[in-house]
């Protein structure tokens, strides 16, 4: 065993949104903080790509601010960073025909009013077969299923109807993007940490957490030891559920069986994001000139696409989420890329050669295959509420827990959720000192 590297007040495992905000708030209180991060970068499921490669702001992970989200907007303002409103129209392309789905809202309203009559919480699948059975409702079932899968990365068989209703009702029409990418906000937080008594260790994979009251010893994959009075664990749900053989799995001594079980009771969805940069935005040319494309939802294998509208951009993003993305967790990136190109060929009626010729670079982000995430983001199951309560409970006033999946509220699975959780855990820790 190697010598102890650092003795600190607080160790934070994970330098994503939750860990970095907790770190900033604790260093601001004069505490010494040591951040241990498995990757060779900060950000976790936020992954703003190098401008040098993409020539514009491109996100491999989180991209949108889903509405006027208080804490995210406050932090952006504090950091002096700007947001830009997402623009463009929503199109549906089924059987090759492009349509703006005008009665989409009406269909949603039917579903909302039925959801409001539910007494007991049931899964979305059970709700749909109870209230919208029969051929005449096939389209509604399809549309809600696609929505749950595409937006929440959820599985209709597991997703809570009550949570879905609450989240849907709180949804804001307006969406934004941080102009220079989410990473700029995290860089601001890290800067604050490092200007205080904070230190970041990258490429440090935590494998073991040994604890007694007010004493934590952490061992990484190189057998380096770190000690502190308390620790905050912010790893994704996928890592909580990981098997011992998995790269990021963590063993706790004494063990935390209730938390391990709770981690399995929550939903953790899959998502694949495909970024394609072209020489010119062909979706603004010829046949598509009159369509102010923002988002496209379609019956293709890679069915959801979006532009950077209203920005001048050559970037097109493909998206697959939910159980179908999970099925592709072992697929090679180039296979997924081929599927994306095929989907685009059909959607835009362009031939493959033309597309390949126009393509400058591409990248597939298959988040369930990512060893330090093992999934994309959480969704609410029937057990989530109770499970979150178990997860956020500190152990011996020494181990504390945070991360997007541990947040309770209507912004499930977002950066806002991670920030709120990071803020809450920082105040929790401060009350025990
Ligand atoms: C494809 C995709 C698109 C998304 N789109 C949006 C969006 O548009 N808007 C939005 O608001 N949200 C979006 N999200 C969700 C958002 O990214 C997350 O909710 C948020 O970033 C989670 O932050 P976190 O700090 O909880 O977790 P993470 O960012 O995952 O941070 C946890 C950190 O722990 C590290 N770690 C894991 N295991 C270990 C270990 N053993 N030792 C040390 N470190 C470890 C990880 O590397 C990671 O850096 C998206 C997510 C994905 C994947």
206-215, 236-245, 351-360, 423-432: which has the minimum mean pLDDT? 351-360
* Mean pLDDT in residue range 263-275: 98
Cα 233 to ligand 1 centre (Å)? 13
**Between 290 and 132, the higher pLDDT residue:** 132
For the chain, domain boundaries? 4-48+181-266+380-431, 87-173+271-366
* Protein residue with its CA nearest to atom 5 in ligand 1: 62
For residue 265, the model assigns a pLDDT of 98
Between vectors from CA 328 to CA 419 and to CA 307, what angle results, nearest 5°?
A: 60
* Interval 280-308: pLDDT, tens: 998 987 677 678 999 999 999 999 999 99
Cα of 16 vs centre of ligand 1, distance in Å, is: 6
- pLDDT score for 6: 54
Structure tokens at 50: 């190098």
Task: Evaluate: CB of 336 within 6 angstroms of ligand 1.
Answer: no
Q: How far apart are CA 238 and CA 144, in angstroms?
A: 26
User: What pLDDT does 102 receive?
Assistant: 60
How far apart are the C-alpha atoms of 2 and 225, rounded to whole Å? 7
The DSSP call for residue 241 is T
Residue 1 pLDDT exceeds 60: no
Q: Is the CB of 276 under 6 A from ligand 1?
A: no
pLDDT digits (tens, 9 = 90+) for 205-262: 999 999 999 999 999 999 999 999 999 999 999 999 999 999 999 999 999 999 999 9
Write the pLDDT tens digit of every residue in 43-60: 999 999 999 999 999 999
Position 103 scores a pLDDT of 62
State whether the beta carbon of 39 lies less than 6 angstroms from ligand 1.
Answer: yes
What residues contact 245, with CB distance under 8 A and at least 6 apart? none
- Closest residue to atom 50 of ligand 1, CA basis: 62
The answer to whether the beta carbons of residues 413 and 69 sit under 8 Å apart is: no
Cα dihedral sign, 32-38-43-45: negative
Residue of 235, 266, 368 best suited for mutating to test ligand 1, as the one with most atoms within 8 Å of CB: 235
Select from 40, 45, 152 the least CA-distant residue to 418: 45
* Helix H or strand E encompassing 372: none
- Full strand arrangement of the beta sheet holding 304-306: 97-99, 89-94, 293-298, 304-306, 315-321, 271-278, 359-366
Residue 116, CB-side half-sphere exposure with 13 Å CA sphere: 8
Q: How far is the CA of 404 from the centre of ligand 1 (A)?
A: 8
15 Cβ closer than 6 Å to some ligand 1 atom:
yes
Average pLDDT on 313-321 reads 97
**Helix and strand numbers, DSSP H then E, in the chain:** 15, 19
Q: Which CATH superfamily is domain 4-48+181-266+380-431 in?
A: FAD/NAD(P)-binding domain (3.50.50.60)
Cβ contact 23:16 at 8 Å? no
346: Cα within 13 Å, side-chain hemisphere: 20
Best substitution site from 59, 61, 263 to test ligand 1's pocket, by max atoms within 8 Å of Cβ? 61
Q: Kindly state the average pLDDT of the residues 332-358.
A: 94
Domain 87-173+271-366 class, CATH top level: alpha beta
If pLDDT is split at 50, 70 and 90, which confidence band does 353 have? very high
Cα(375) to ligand 1 centroid in Å equals 9
What is the rounded distance in angstroms from the CA atom of residue 115 to the CA atom of residue 124?
9
Q: Which atom in ligand 1 lies closest to the alpha carbon of residue 205?
A: 42
pLDDT reported for residue 104: 66
How far, in Å, from the CA of 62 to the mean position of ligand 1? 8
pTM: 0.97
Atom of ligand 1 nearest to the CA of 204: 43
Three-state secondary-structure class, residue 119? coil
Question: What pLDDT score does 145 carry?
Answer: 94
Ligand 1 mean position, distance from CA 46 (Å): 6
Ligand 1 atom closest to the Cα of residue 405 is 26
- For residue 379 and ligand 1, the question of a CB distance below 6 A is answered with no
Q: Is 209 in the pocket of ligand 1 (CB under 6 A)?
A: no
What are the helix (H) ranges across 153-270?
161-169, 182-195, 237-240, 257-265
Tell whether ligand 1 has an atom less than 6 A from the beta carbon of residue 45. yes
What is the chain's mean pLDDT, rounded? 95
Q: Is the CB of 18 under 6 A from ligand 1?
A: yes
Q: Which two tokens mark 9? A: 């007040």
Express as a percent the part of the chain with pLDDT over 70. Answer: 97
Q: Greatest CA separation found in the chain?
A: 69
**CB within 8 Å of 159: residues ≥ 6 apart:** 123, 124, 148, 152, 267, 379, 380, 381
What is the band of 120 on the pLDDT scale with cuts at 50, 70, 90? Answer: very high
Compute the average pLDDT of residues 351-356. 91
Distance CA 332, CA 341 (A): 15
Phi/psi for 308 (5° steps) reads -100, 20
> 145: left (phi > 0), else alpha (psi -120 to 50), else beta?
alpha
Closest ligand 1 atom to 64 CA: 8
User: 268 vs 101, which has greater pLDDT?
Assistant: 268
Q: Is the pLDDT of residue 173 over 90?
A: no
């Amino acid at each position: 065993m190697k010598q102890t590297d650092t003795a600190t007040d607080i160790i934070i495992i994970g330098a994503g949104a939750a860990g970095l905000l907790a770190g900033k708030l604790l260093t601001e209180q004069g505490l010494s903080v040591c951040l241990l991060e498995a990757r060779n970068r900060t950000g976790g499921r936020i992954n703003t790509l190098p401008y040098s490669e993409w020539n514009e702001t491109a996100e491999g992970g989180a991209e949108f601010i889903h509405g006027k989200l208080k804490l995210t907007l406050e932090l952006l303002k504090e950091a002096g960073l700007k947001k830009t409103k997402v623009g463009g129209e929503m199109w549906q392309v089924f059987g090759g025909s492009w349509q703006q789905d005008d009665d989409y809202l009406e269909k949603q309203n039917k579903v909302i009013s039925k959801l409001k009559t539910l007494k007991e919480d049931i899964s979305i699948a059970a709700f749909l077969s109870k209230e919208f059975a029969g051929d005449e409702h096939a389209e509604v079932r399809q549309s809600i299923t696609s929505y749950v899968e595409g937006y929440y990365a959820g599985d209709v068989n597991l997703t809570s109807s009550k949570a879905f209703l609450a989240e849907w009702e709180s949804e804001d029409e307006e969406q934004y993007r941080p102009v220079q990418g989410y990473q700029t906000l995290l860089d601001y937080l890290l800067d604050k940490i490092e200007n205080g008594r904070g230190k970041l260790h990258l490429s440090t994979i935590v494998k073991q957490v040994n604890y007694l009251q007010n004493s934590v010893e952490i061992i990484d994959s190189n057998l380096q030891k770190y000690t502190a009075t308390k620790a905050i664990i912010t790893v994704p749900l996928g890592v909580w559920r990981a098997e011992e053989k998995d790269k990021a799995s963590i063993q706790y001594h004494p063990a935390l069986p209730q938390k391990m079980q709770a981690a399995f009771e929550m939903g953790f969805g899959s998502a694949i994001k495909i970024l394609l940069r072209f020489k010119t935005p062909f979706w603004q040319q010829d046949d598509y000139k009159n369509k102010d494309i923002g988002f496209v939802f379609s019956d293709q294998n890679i069915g959801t696409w979006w532009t950077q509208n209203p920005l001048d951009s050559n970037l097109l993003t493909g998206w697959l989420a939910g159980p179908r993305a999970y099925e592709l967790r072992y697929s090679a990136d180039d296979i997924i890329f081929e599927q994306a190109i095929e989907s685009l060929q059909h959607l835009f009626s362009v031939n493959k050669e033309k597309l390949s010729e126009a393509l400058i670079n591409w990248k597939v982000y298959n988040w369930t295959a990512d060893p330090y995430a093992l999934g994309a983001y959480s969704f609410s199951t029937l057990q989530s509420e109770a499970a979150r309560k178990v997860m956020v409970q500190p152990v011996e006033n020494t181990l504390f827990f945070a991360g997007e999946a541990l947040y309770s509220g209507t912004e499930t699975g977002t950066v806002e959720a991670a920030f709120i959780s990071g803020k809450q855990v920082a105040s929790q820790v401060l009350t025990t000192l």
